[in-house]
Amino acid sequence: MIRKVRQHISQNEALLFEETSPGKAGYQLPELDVPSVDPQAALGAPNVRVEIEGFPEVSEVEAIRHFTRLSTWNYAIDLGLYPLGSCTMKYNPRVNEFVARLDGLAWAHPYQPESLSQGALEIIAELESALLEITGMDAITLQPAAGAHGEFTGILLVRAYLESQGNPRKKILVPDSAHGTNPATASMAGYSVQNIKSNAKGMMDVSSLARLLDEDTNNEIAALMVTNPSTLGIFEEDIAKVAEILHAKGAMLYMDGANMNALVGLTRPGDFGVDVMHLNLHKTFSTPHGGGGPGGGPVAVKKHLEPFLPIPRLKRVNEAWTFDYKFPQSIGRVRAFYGNFGVLVRALAYILAHGGNGLKNATIDALMNANYIRRKLEPYYDLPYDSPSMHEVVFSDDRQSKQGVRTGDLAKRLIDYGFHPYTVSFPTIVHGAIMIEPTETESKRELDLFIDAMISIAKEIEKDPKFVLQAPYLTRTSRVDEVTAARRPIVRWRPQRTSSQAAD
């Protein structure tokens, strides 16, 4: 039974381009009281746009209503459970926003003199030390703008260090459960990628890893990139052993911190042998992740990689913070100024609002919520790996696909129940993956609504799979043609009269 939502009226909406009336505007300008100048003469003809074809001309209230109406069609973390979890976006506490909008921070300018930026620099320094304590690492840069950027920075550090040892090496190992950005990063940094298969427990196989390193007689392996817990939500229980095997051959362990929401306050990568890692402030540390960012992808390293960190780095001189550029071995800048400062402010607000115990409790709640869902849904959905779940649980659609209903169909039916779909078909090593990450934020009431919805769908599939295959029923549009959209995308809207050309 659908308990969370009911149908209600929402307004139809045309494109803003279609609402246009020539000459309409949302502003009034006073009469020109200075001599009129020909813009083409003043700026040069190529710099002046003569005509903007089809630019919408609407009043202020029309523009406001247009976007407000569109926003009512949306599903958001502020409306309910988002089973994509911290990996996509967890709840953004309002205290973060309050702090980030304080005038002195919101209006700070990166070219302000250091003497007038001491508060901002102190925030950066505080965040650096908090993240070092949380990760157990020795040094950190907050410059990278997001996770993939952090990975790239981290692997450049590995390369710079190995080069300083005389051999940058050739290969990076990546488990088959990895995020797609890991092999992409390795390849961007000039390494070739070797995949390693997961074992039946969904973990890296230590003995085959050891064999791989033994066979690497020319020392070609530079590093292993691992996400821990993995994308299966499983903690690599032999991670310390993995680090030992790599270190014995001078190779390094990189940790993708995308799933750090499962570890904060419980265990530290620096303590289980990680040499370099990135964090996603827009995942674990609750900064906004929607609308394309900006994000934050700090990279933390052990002592031996510190000389290579991006410049500038913060230094305390005579009771004041200053930027230090004198690191001759540094890989250089990876981002203008000092990262996405507004995001750093929010992350520190999150950390301080929780405190150490609060962060630990948040982690425990995240693990408990995921395991509660696992326990409740196990009778209805197939669990391909039964190793203990951390902050997320991955089912497969094996049972449902026998009725012809795949994970993507199930997800579409879930929309009718008032929930955003879970992560569909990822990780790819699970056939028909159903990945659910509730995060720490959700109450038992919300979790129960979600669980009831998933159970109800499983029962619908047993009774009438065809019904589920037509879902969603309660949305404005039902099954959109995602295949044609991907194969023949039309990315620019054109006025009606030329729409036949646009389709060409």
- SS3 call for 141: strand
What count of Cα atoms within 13 Å lies in the side-chain half-sphere of residue 2?
A: 13
Which C-beta is closer to another protein: that of 8 or that of 488?
488
Q: Pick one of 20, 425, 456, 475: the residue that binds another protein (CB under 8 A).
A: 425
The one among 38, 319, 482, 504 contacting another protein by CB under 8 A = 482
Single residue of 41, 483, 491, 503 touching another protein by CB under 8 A: 483
Subset of residues 393 to 422 that bind another protein, contact rule: CB under 8 A: 408
Instruction: Provide the sign of the torsion angle of the four alpha carbons 335, 341, 346, 351, taken in this order.
Output: positive
The whole-angstrom separation of Cα 329 and Cα 15 is 53
* Helix (H), strand (E) at residue 256: strand 252-257
State in angstroms the smallest separation of the CB of 430 from another protein: 12
Q: Is 136 in the site for another protein (CB under 8 A)?
A: no
Least distance between another protein and beta carbon 88 (Å) = 16
Closest distance of CB 428 from another protein, Å: 5
303 or 402: CB nearest another protein = 402
Task: Give yes or no for a cis peptide into 312 (omega within 30° of 0).
Answer: yes
* Count of residues that interact with another protein, criterion CB under 8 A: 13
Query: Nearer Cβ to another protein, position 137 or 186?
Result: 186
- Which structure tokens are listed for 395? 């089912």
Say whether residue 424 binds another protein (CB under 8 A).
Answer: yes
Which C-beta is closer to another protein: that of 32 or that of 483?
A: 483
Supply 226's token pair: 């691992």
Residue with tokens 């006025």: 495
Per the structure block, which two tokens stand in for 27? Answer: 């502003």
CB within 8 A of 500, min separation 6: which ones? none
The only residue of 42, 486, 491, 503 in contact with another protein, by rule CB under 8 A? 486
Give the nearer residue to another protein in terms of CB position, either 268 or 431: 431
Cβ proximity to another protein, 37 vs 486, nearer residue: 486
Contacts of 385 (CB under 8 A, 6+ apart): 200, 201, 202, 232, 234, 394, 430
Nearer Cβ to another protein (488/497): 488
**Burial (CB count within 10 angstroms: exposed 0-12, middle 13-18, buried 19+), residue 78:** exposed
Instruction: Say if residues 311 and 329 touch (Cβ distance below 8 Å).
Output: no
- Residues 426-465 vs another protein: string with x where CB under 8 A? x-x--x----------------------------------
Q: Which of residues 152-211 bind another protein (CB under 8 A)?
A: 180, 192-193
For residue 215, the minimal CB distance to another protein (Å) is 14
Partners of 329 in the β-ladder: none
- What is the helix (H) or strand (E) element at residue 501, kind and residue range? helix 499-503
Write down the least CB distance from residue 408 to another protein, Å.
8
Nearer to another protein by Cβ, of 84 and 124: the residue is 84
Single-letter code of the amino acid located at 51: E
Give me the residues that bind another protein (CB under 8 A), please.
180, 192-193, 408, 424-426, 428, 431, 482-483, 486-487
